[in-house]
Amino acid sequence: MPEYSHLCKNCSHKWNEIYSIHSDPPTLCPNCKTEGFVNRLITGAPYTKVELYGSELYSKLRAEGKQIAKEAEKNEKLAENLYGAPLLPKNE
């Protein structure tokens, strides 16, 4: 079962509770015993991912592609890896 963090707006007490996602969150603060001032906090672990969508994802991928292309111009082995074959010499 997941562990959720909570904060009482009345006394600023923070605590964690383990309960099912299908259960109702607590409404009673274990510290001050006040009902109705408890909020569930949004917390993240170091491994939390942030998903990008739409134009943000497009912009990120385009910038990464340009960076890789610049690096491939300088590194022949990287270019061969990207294109799957040795590059032909440029005709000048």
Mean pLDDT of 30-39: 92
Q: Domain residue spans in the chain?
A: 3-41, 54-83
The closest alpha carbon to 39, from 76, 20, 11, belongs to 11
Task: Quick: pLDDT tens for 52-80.
Answer: 788 988 999 999 999 988 888 888 888 88
pLDDT at 88: 67
pTM of the model: 0.46
Cα–Cα distances (Å) from 88 to 47, 76, 78, 80, 85, in that order, read 42, 11, 14, 10, 9
Mean pLDDT of 8-31: 91
